[in-house]
Structure 1
Amino acid sequence: MNFHKKEEWFIFYDNDGNKIERKTEVRFDPLTGESSRIIFDSKPPLTPPDYSEMAVKTGGAKCPFCPDNLLKMTPKFPKEIALDGRIMTGESVAFPNLFPYSKHNAVVIFSDDHYVTLKQFTVDMIKNAFMTAKIYIENVVESDQEARYASILWNYLPPSGGSILHPHIQPIVSDSPTNYLALVEEKAQQFEQEHGQEYFKALYETEKSLGERWIGEIGNVVWFHAFAPRGHNDFMAIFTKAHSIFEIGEEDLQHFAESLKAIFATLNEQGFASFNLMLNASIDRNSKQPVHIHLIPRFTIGMLETSDINSFQSLHNEPLSLKVPEEIAAKARVHFEKIRN
């Protein structure tokens, strides 16, 4: 496992002639070789947005996901996907996405609540929503023999790209991989051929042994921070005993939901309120690659509400991070221990 990084130094002078040095650290992903950059000494003002007033304006009768409208305004699946047209687990409900990103694309709401802050998410809300998404993906795979790739996406709050305040996730199944899935599949196969080990298993065992970016584990769900982050935090989770969507059990989702609360607390401590999450789950029952997750925060900066993504990320495909992975992992370990005790 190669954790490679290099430093670049920018030297300039203030108006009094004093020398100033600023460091940028370039890190390389141990699987793909892609680089990301750690920006030091940059402390942007982060003010977590409060959407309470907006929730009043957009909720209830004005929201298609709220109880008043859910069964009247949302569409239904064909019977081979859901006999009753929708899939329900507890308060979570799955229905088709009116504007799909893929051949199969559902929306899963967590509950009746229109606005839920990070602190307000309960373990049951998270577990039930992801269980509903899992059932949807399994039903799709059983009905579509051409389906090959599956993921669960969560765009939480507007800075993440979420267009509706009511919390929801999107399970997606496609015949074609995204660029990320294709690259990871290719590089993971190459890693196993060269080293005789499955990459993600080797990764979490190495991270646990080193301890620098390790956060913790509950049951068969482990958490650590990515070495070369894809965002200003980049939390990774691996379901160590689940190598496909079919092998994720209810207990796994319980442990995932419990541990995710610690990640939410870590985001909240830093002033982050929004995030993107991706769960990559193979639909190949013979897959060797465990189910894994990335979670990165999203935010705007200062009075101008400047986006956290600029041309480096959008055009150079070069992620930037204002945070040091090892320092964030240390913060997360504290919150992780709290949920264990």
Structure 2
Amino acid sequence: MKVEFHNKEEWFQFYDVNGNLIKRKTEIRFDPLTKETSRLVFDPGLTLSPPDYSKEAVKTSGQNCPFCSENILKLTPVLPKEIEESGRISRGEALLFPNLFPYSKHNGVVIFSDDHYVRLKEFSKTMVKDALMVGQTYIEKVMATDQQMKSASINWNYLPESGGSILHPHMHILVSEEPTNYQSRTNVFTKAFKNETGEDYFNYLYEVEKEQGERWIGQRGNVAWMHAYAPKSHNDYIVVLPKVTSIAEIKEQDWLDFATSLTAIFSTLDEQGLASFNMILNFNEETDGVSIHGRLIPRLTIGQLNTSDVNFFQALHQEPLSYKIPEEIAKIARGHFTRIL
């Protein structure tokens, strides 16, 4: 088998104060592509309630938000004319402009709602589709005018727990000469996989997961969702556009299918008491013939102290931890995916 789902179990044995033996399992899973490890750890019965930012939304909206309608055209910068003559790219409620504090040579910000605070269940498929299409337009315009650009991504931090500093819904569109570490590792290993097997890794993963079904969630049009075998968080959703290898190949219907199916992922998060997430969609011109993919993980705080979900293990050991079993989360997600079809 070209894609291997390999794991190892470790057992910690100790005793309670009454002398009763307690056993706790840590399952170490190896990523099928990179062989990097993730750990599934004992779940103490974690229960979560989605955060409510209604009060914060009142304080930070309107005149206090650069992305609200009364400020956006006055306070946001404009693109160079060689990229966009009008200075901004728009579609529906979506509007893209430069990031004042860029992460790369080209960094657009997309605002895609007139509402300052939008809950997961309130995102419409049209709203998300238009934001993604604006992002695609920006990437294509940048790459047409700056020939050194090879790596691009569409990125979404949703709510403060994800690192989002402004409540108003927005995405970051990055285009750079240099890939991020994630993009670089993905490039190296997908090229090696193709050299060894002759296969596109993400298309092959899609076929294997769909056939096996354990972590398969569903497919709408040309957009397929599955759960990662070695997750990078307590949920880790992988989306693949099979045999779509360039952003230029993505059509409006694909973005509509993506936005529609994303509502099933949002419902799965909501059922677990999760509201915040990080999402990436990865595009790389240096990776020849590899299907476009993305990932989405939840972000959360835990307990009365609002403890971060990232500790020394993730931050410094660079090894993800998960309280949740991927196959169980995939089963929940499949139920929500079936309802949207």
What's the TM-score bracket when you normalise by the shorter of the two chains? over 0.9
Residue 68 of structure 1 aligns to a residue whose secondary structure is helix
CA contact 1:45–1:302 (8 Å) conserved in 2: no
The letter for the 1-side match of 2:293 is H
Q: What is the rounded CA distance, in whole Å, between the counterparts of 1:16 and 1:337 in structure 2?
A: 48
2:120 counterpart residue number: 118
Residue 262 of structure 2 aligns to a residue whose secondary structure is helix
Cα deviation, residue 102, structure 1: 0.3
Q: What is the rounded CA distance, in whole Å, between the counterparts of 1:197 and 1:67 in structure 2?
A: 47
Q: What is the rounded CA distance, in whole Å, between the counterparts of 1:241 and 1:230 in structure 2?
A: 25
CA contact 2:43–2:324 (8 Å) conserved in 1: no
CA contact 1:241–1:247 (8 Å) conserved in 2: no
2:298 counterpart residue number: 297
Q: What is the rounded CA distance, in whole Å, between the counterparts of 2:13 and 2:47 in structure 1?
A: 25
Could you tell me which of 25, 29, 43 is aligned with 2:31? Answer: 29
1:306 counterpart residue number: 307
Cα deviation, residue 140, structure 1: 0.3
1:74 counterpart residue number: 76
1:326 counterpart residue number: 327
The letter for the 2-side match of 1:292 is H
Deviates more, 1:83-92 or 1:237-246: 237-246
What are the residue-to-residue correspondences of 1:31-46 with 2, within 5 Å? 31-46=33-48
Could you tell me which of 259, 262, 270 is aligned with 1:260? Answer: 262
2:175 counterpart residue number: 173
Cα deviation, residue 80, structure 1: 1.2
Q: What is the rounded CA distance, in whole Å, between the counterparts of 1:141 and 1:111 in structure 2?
A: 27
TM-score, scaled to structure 2: 0.98
Moved over 6 A (4+): none
The letter for the 1-side match of 2:296 is L
CA-to-aligned-CA distance 1:202-252 (integer Å, 9 cap, x gap)? 101000010000000001000000000011100010111421111111000
1:132 counterpart residue number: 134
2:57 counterpart residue number: 55
Cα deviation, residue 282, structure 1: 2.4
Q: What is the rounded CA distance, in whole Å, between the counterparts of 2:242 and 2:7 in structure 1?
A: 27
Cα deviation, residue 139, structure 1: 0.5
CA contact 1:45–1:301 (8 Å) conserved in 2: no
2:86 counterpart residue number: 84
1:288 counterpart residue number: 289
Q: What is the rounded CA distance, in whole Å, between the counterparts of 2:177 and 2:50 in structure 1?
A: 38
Could you tell me which of 95, 98, 101 is aligned with 1:96? Answer: 98
Cα deviation, residue 287, structure 1: 2.9
Q: What is the rounded CA distance, in whole Å, between the counterparts of 2:225 and 2:33 in structure 1?
A: 17
The letter for the 2-side match of 1:114 is H
Identity %, equivalent residues:
58
Residue 12 of structure 2 aligns to a residue whose secondary structure is strand
Could you tell me which of 142, 145, 162 is aligned with 1:143? Answer: 145
RMSD after superposition: 0.9
The letter for the 2-side match of 1:102 is S
CA-to-aligned-CA distance 1:171-217 (integer Å, 9 cap, x gap)? 10000011111111011111111112111111010000100000000
CA-to-aligned-CA distance 1:108-135 (integer Å, 9 cap, x gap)? 0112110000000000000000000000
Cα deviation, residue 43, structure 1: 2.4
CA contact 2:243–2:290 (8 Å) conserved in 1: no
Cα deviation, residue 281, structure 1: 1.4
1:2 counterpart residue number: 4
2:22 is aligned with 1:20: yes
Structure 2 unaligned residues grouped into runs of 5+: none
Q: What is the rounded CA distance, in whole Å, between the counterparts of 2:243 and 2:204 in structure 1?
A: 14
1:278 counterpart residue number: 280
CA contact 1:213–1:330 (8 Å) conserved in 2: yes
TM-score, scaled to structure 1: 0.98
Deviates more, 1:33-42 or 1:171-180: 33-42
1:214 counterpart residue number: 216
Cα deviation, residue 17, structure 1: 0.6
Residue 251 of structure 1 aligns to a residue whose secondary structure is helix
